[in-house]
Copies of this chain bind each other. A is one copy, B any other.
């Protein structure tokens, strides 16, 4: 069996673990509901249990390190989970220290959006791009930026807080307290809320039939729009316009070679794409208009393979990796970069 990394994607709802090959292929996967209210010790206990399970089921696995991602804010260099709003009782948890002591392996940590960006860049829809913006549109809006061949961290690893970019003065107040955040007007949650407002329980609308007369979600809107439902189509059009305004800002600010859209709403990418494109063509300066906007390719394994690549990545011609190599040397994970040949498919 080839060289592998243990990868963990710690979410507020689900904790995922995997054994990942250098190629980005996932050899084995496990998951369970995160004990999100039980504090950091309980959740780290879950990680250790899942890791033991994966290692026991694959005794031949040559595991050279652990790549983990968790919700921000998080300091990737110090290896500390600072205090994610979706995990109770986490406050400056030294995740790298804890896991490396437990397993005696090099450990890397990245925030979940950056790890997913890394996964899509190295193995998915962003392959070969020197600069890329990954935007995940689901409950909220998050993102990660590859800037001139490096993941863009900024101070304390806090760059690319895309969801809280102000793009308008209207709409519902964001949970962060502001009006006009990209996330507040364009997330899946915002789309579902609009759909819920435009309909009423028992009104016989397709949207309410799909939701069994409960609150309408973004998924219902996409489903209804696929059948040609007029209200849903109109909602999708408005959603595409907000996404287009936000994406235009990302083009102007980061000048990526490609924008990759992931998250739950990427399931409706084909429906949203014409409206996103029209908005960008109407708003972006000429030089940015031909940048492709594409759907993510890796689904919910983007974070896992991105986290694994923090340990395993050897690079390809055309993609810079100085930062990763520097850190590998520093942290003694040099075994991962010993061979000069990449297994990437």
Binding site for B on A (CB under 8 A): 73, 82, 130-131, 147-148, 150, 152-162, 164-170, 176-178, 180, 245, 248-249, 252-257, 283, 285, 287-288, 291, 322-323
A330 nearest CB across to chain B (Å): 15
Cα distance A67–B285 in the bound complex, in angstroms:
27
Cα distance A162–B252 in the bound complex, in angstroms:
7
Whether the pair A166, B249 counts as a contact (CB closer than 8 A) is: yes
Given A166-B245, A170-B169, A180-B168, residue A153 in contact with residue B285 (CB < 8 A)? no
Whether the pair A165, B287 counts as a contact (CB closer than 8 A) is: no
Whether the pair A287, B159 counts as a contact (CB closer than 8 A) is: no
Copies in the complex: 2
A261 nearest CB across to chain B (Å): 17
Given A170-B169, A245-B166, A322-B322, residue A154 in contact with residue B287 (CB < 8 A)? no
10 pairs of A and B residues whose beta carbons are closest in the complex: A154-B255, A161-B252, A159-B255, A158-B255, A168-B169, A155-B255, A155-B257, A131-B154, A165-B249, A164-B252
Cα distance A283–B157 in the bound complex, in angstroms:
20
A329 nearest CB across to chain B (Å): 15
Whether the pair A248, B153 counts as a contact (CB closer than 8 A) is: no
Whether the pair B148, A130 counts as a contact (CB closer than 8 A) is: no
Beyond the given A158-B255, A167-B167, could you list 14 further A-B residue pairs with CB under 8 A, ordered by the A residue number?
A147-B152, A148-B154, A153-B255, A156-B287, A158-B288, A161-B255, A161-B285, A162-B253, A164-B252, A165-B253, A166-B283, A167-B180, A168-B169, A322-B322
Can you give 13 contacting A-B residue pairs, CB < 8 Å? A82-B287, A130-B155, A147-B152, A147-B159, A154-B255, A155-B255, A159-B254, A160-B253, A160-B255, A161-B255, A165-B253, A166-B168, A176-B285
Most B CB contacts (10 A, CB to CB) among A148, A160, A167 go to: A148
Cα distance A322–B325 in the bound complex, in angstroms:
14
A97 nearest CB across to chain B (Å): 21
Whether the pair A147, B156 counts as a contact (CB closer than 8 A) is: no
Whether the pair B158, A287 counts as a contact (CB closer than 8 A) is: yes
A258 nearest CB across to chain B (Å): 9
Whether the pair A154, B249 counts as a contact (CB closer than 8 A) is: no
Cα distance A172–B288 in the bound complex, in angstroms:
23
Residue of B nearest to A160 (CB): B253
Q: Which residues of B contact A167 (CB under 8 A)?
A: 166-167, 180
A141 nearest CB across to chain B (Å): 12
Q: Which residues of B contact A178 (CB under 8 A)?
A: 283
Cα distance A82–B323 in the bound complex, in angstroms:
32
